[in-house]
Structure 1
Amino acid sequence: MNLTFKKTYRFAGKSSLYITLFATGFVGFLSWFFFLPKALPFLWFLLLFALAVYTFSFFVIQYRVEVFIYRRVKKIYDDVSFLESSSFRNQPITTDMATLTREVKKFAMDKKMEIETLKVREEYRREFLGNVSHELKTPLFTVQGYLLTLLDGAMNDKNIRKKYLERAEKGVERLIFIVQDLDMISKLESGDLNLNLSKFNIVELVQNVFDLLEMKAEEKNILLSFDRKYLRPIRVFGDQEKIQQVLVNLIVNSIKYGKVNGSTEVGIESLTDNKIIVRIKDDGEGIEPQYIPRLFERFFRVDKSGARAEGGSGLGLSIVKHIIEAHDEKIYIESEFGKGSEFSFTIEKAE
């Protein structure tokens, strides 16, 4: 480990001054008391004596301090060098203890933060793997159960065979859906998913999503509607396919957690000169305040049993957040437990 040595002379200078003042004063007192010298030669004697003592003390103290600190402080630098902190290793060894203390303290704080970050990531990794395994094993075991039943003899019954194969197909579709969402979110997080930016009519896109989800909404008799009539197109700039996925995920969520005979309302407003805000509001069960900060985490569910009964991968809101952030936009949520929720996101106006 090649280290440079940064010298500081403050300690040696002050120490030499203290020694010089004491030695000069003491010798001056003794000389005056015992020899009663004349004033002018006596002052020259004291001045030369002080200069000699100061110079000698300075070099001796500086040398001793450098040897003492270098040997011991170098050990500190060597002990921490295995942690591969380039910023710390590039610092010169210094005899200034205040500087050294500050550097070591900063190094220790940086390492503490790094360790805490690694702990959080490790916890997140364990939770993610647990969630993935849980999400995958349910449809896998479902498919396996139906296939084993068929192999055990049920396939001879034409009606049972068809019913069980249809159910197994639904399980496979659920698996494909989860894998596709996992692939999507991994691409979004790694930045490998490129946005195909274009100008499009956001009102028309919302209406297309309404048409796509009409049958799903009818299962709970939920009305999908705009907050008012939009007679003119509202053109925005973004990736039309990805924004459609955002709208689908948010409206599906509003249906999934909405109340029977309820409604989902979409509003589009001008936020600033170059921004539009899209609001998706439902009158469903709402979200308790303590859960709101975690809503966009992967696989997080407020009501785990109910959400799994409704299906889905548990990645929808996380994908929504990543798509919106990939557009350099913001997503917001307001919710009152028992009364409903409103998700909203911004998007750039088209010129």
Structure 2
Amino acid sequence: MKVAVAYQPGEPLVLEELPTPAIGPRDVLVRVAASGICHTDLTSINRAERTDPLVPGHEACGTVEAVGPDVRRVGVGDRVLASVSPACGACWWCVNAMSNHCERGASRMVPRFDLPGGKKAPALCGCGSFAEAMVVDEASVVAVRTDLPDEELALLGCGVTTGLGAALNTASVQPGSSVAVIGCGGVGQSVIQGARIAGASTIIAVDLSAGRREASLRVGATHAVDPADGDPVEQVRALTDGRGADHSFEAVGLPPLLVQAFDMARMEGTVTYIGMPPQRDATLTLPAVSAIFTGKRIQGSVVGGSQILRDFPRYIRLAETGRLDLGAMVSRRITLDEVNEGIGLLERGEGVRTVIV
């Protein structure tokens, strides 16, 4: 089968003809129908300290073609949505409503793909969906019944669930509140949609890309801020009666923007960090006095705090009823052969979500 392999950090992916990975007792073989290209893929491909080959892709949907003997969650023929984070449903984290920290997370870096020359490559987040098919632990897929198109459904596997959940689960945005979002790609626009669904009255999109600012206004932002026009913190304060936003979100992962998100929140406001830093050793420095005496609450959001067994069906219903607009987020459809072009679009900040179909 055709697979896109990341060999060297920062280098184009190489399309290889590889054997279908072996299916273990708890594994599921999924024929990939659609896979979004997420910023996490880009970060993982370009991570300088990466020394082994990798098969990217983790935001996908498809159809089950085979299952291992111990699989109980899905069956052959099921349409499934893959998740960036597994949920076994039985470990301490899962039974305590924190399945985004499931113990089966170790399955995400199993070296599944046999490469030429005898090497093996893991699948990013346990999926490896930049391929015609993927073999995943059953904890990483959820059977779904919906008529949503493949390219829209796939987005729920990571980006939309992460952003939507950050607004609805992690931050619990309240009706009438003000929200500022730094970084308006797929995750950021999902935060914006989540804030709109929650009833926020002021939703401010902050992004250098004019196209992404315009797209944000179409899915629910009430205002758009261009950092090139001046200090974005001051621009956000000007739009919130000088106080700052009730909620600020950072969806890029760059330390200077993490600080900006802190500064954009009002006193006693909530700061939610979502973006993945490009370096594992990246650090965040905040003024100690401000961090204490402004009373701001700072929190990270892992997969939007989403519990996939509960939330995938919930988010699908939001899309089916028109409250969540997935179609507006699909800016480009490409084939697997065009994967490097899709990655280039992401690197240049063009569009919202490119999907391999």
* TM-score interval (norm. to shorter): under 0.3
Normalising by the residue count of structure 2, what TM-score does the alignment of the two structures yield? 0.19
Q: Which has the higher contact order (CA 8 A, sep 6+)?
A: 2
Structure with bigger strand share is 2
